[in-house]
Amino acid sequence: MALEMRPFGRTGVKVSSICLGAMMFGAKTNLEDSCAIVDKALDSGINFIDTANVYSRGRSEEAVGEALARNGKRNRTFLATKVHGAMDDDDPNMQGTSRRHIIQQCDESLRRLKTDWIDLYQIHRPRSDTAIDETLRALDDLIRAGKVRYIGSSTYAAYQLVESIFIAKELGTHRYVCEQPPYNLLDRRIERELLPMAQSYGMAIIPWSPLAGGLLTGKYQRGDEPPEGSRFADQTNPLYRRRLNDRIYDVVEGLQPMAEAKGVTLSQLALGWVHQQTGVTSPIIGPRAMEQFDDNMKAVEVSFEDDELRQVNRVIRRGESVAPFYEADFGPAQYARR
């Protein structure tokens, strides 16, 4: 089945309904395997790749840049990266959303990605200690300098995005055209406000962790240790410990019979569901290996009848979350806006 091309918000750009996430590249996935996954993704009709400066402190960007340099398909790829995460353990200015850091990191990302422009430059997290006009003006300058085509956000609250749209209007800068939130069948919080807000303002929505980092693949079973080498086997990460709570098994066990009845894997059911949600542009997949990419791609063929969607809603309600997939900075704004 040909991959659907969908409007990227109100921009006029068309992106594939699956985005290839590169978080594992340069981490658990070596360079050769990363290049092979990029090649297969582009051959399968994907034209959208997402990475971030902070993924393995630049190694993910380097792998994506190398893959696109080798296959010569940079021009037809809509390439997204992000800034905000700490790029140094000691220097407090090597992170965040200040003009200084954003402009410096953009140049670093361009170098690592072996490209002259970034199609979508995203702020990885909101920061209540940094004025939104500081961030928007820096991003606007990057667009005007020809280094960036569009700007987006990640894991913002709906109110923060609406504020950013109105501040951009007030300042006459470019605005965010896309939000990248966590969204999966363990965490449906964005249905409450973010999704309706994005539809009202014509923002693209590109969900991260559509398989909840693998929790929705069926390989984590109640009472068993996480499989060796799997993401959640790393119990030193407190975030992972919080997500791997008992309530996720109720959802997994509720969905598994549905997947069996439809003759698909649990991961295809879970990803297919996000792919089909109204208001979603492109879920971002995060394969560690080629067989996971192949399994993920079959999800685009999964469709849901209305009664099946109701069945899903009985397992996990609209807007419900059983695993915290963001702990963003939603504290009181500590800054004077101007």
Ligand X SMILES: NC(=O)c1ccc[n+]([C@@H]2O[C@H](COP(=O)([O-])OP(=O)(O)OC[C@H]3O[C@@H](n4cnc5c(N)ncnc54)[C@H](OP(=O)(O)O)[C@@H]3O)[C@@H](O)[C@H]2O)c1
Catalytic (active-site) positions: 55
Residue 231 binds ligand X (CB under 6 A): yes
Q: Are 148 and 106 in contact (CB under 8 A)?
A: yes
By CB under 6 A, name the one of 18, 35, 48, 50 that touches ligand X. 50
Stretch in the footprint of ligand X (CB under 6 A) among 31-39, 185-193, 241-249, 291-299: 291-299
Residue 214 binds ligand X (CB under 6 A): yes
Residue 22 binds ligand X (CB under 6 A): yes
Contact letters for ligand X, residues 102-141 (x by CB under 6 A): ----------------------x-----------------
Residue 296 binds ligand X (CB under 6 A): yes
Considering only CA atoms, which of 273, 277, 239, 242 is closest in space to residue 259?
273
Q: Are 269 and 259 in contact (CB under 8 A)?
A: yes
Residue 26 binds ligand X (CB under 6 A): no
Residue 142, SS3? Answer: helix
Contact letters for ligand X, residues 169-198 (x by CB under 6 A): -----------x------------------
Residue 301 structure tokens:
């063929």
Q: What is the CA radius of gyration of the chain?
A: 19
Considering only CA atoms, which of 76, 103, 80, 52 is closest in space to residue 150?
80
Residue 96 binds ligand X (CB under 6 A): no
CA dihedral 143→82→158→48, nearest 10 degrees, is 80
**Which residues, in sequence order, are bridge partners of residue 208?**
182
Considering only CA atoms, which of 272, 277, 238, 244 is closest in space to residue 258?
272
Residue 34 binds ligand X (CB under 6 A): no
Q: Which residue is nearest to ligand X (CB)?
A: 286
For tokens 């690592």, the residue is 112
Q: Applying CB under 6 A, which residues contact ligand X?
A: 21-24, 28, 50, 124, 154-155, 180, 208-214, 217, 219, 230-231, 267, 284-288, 292, 295-296
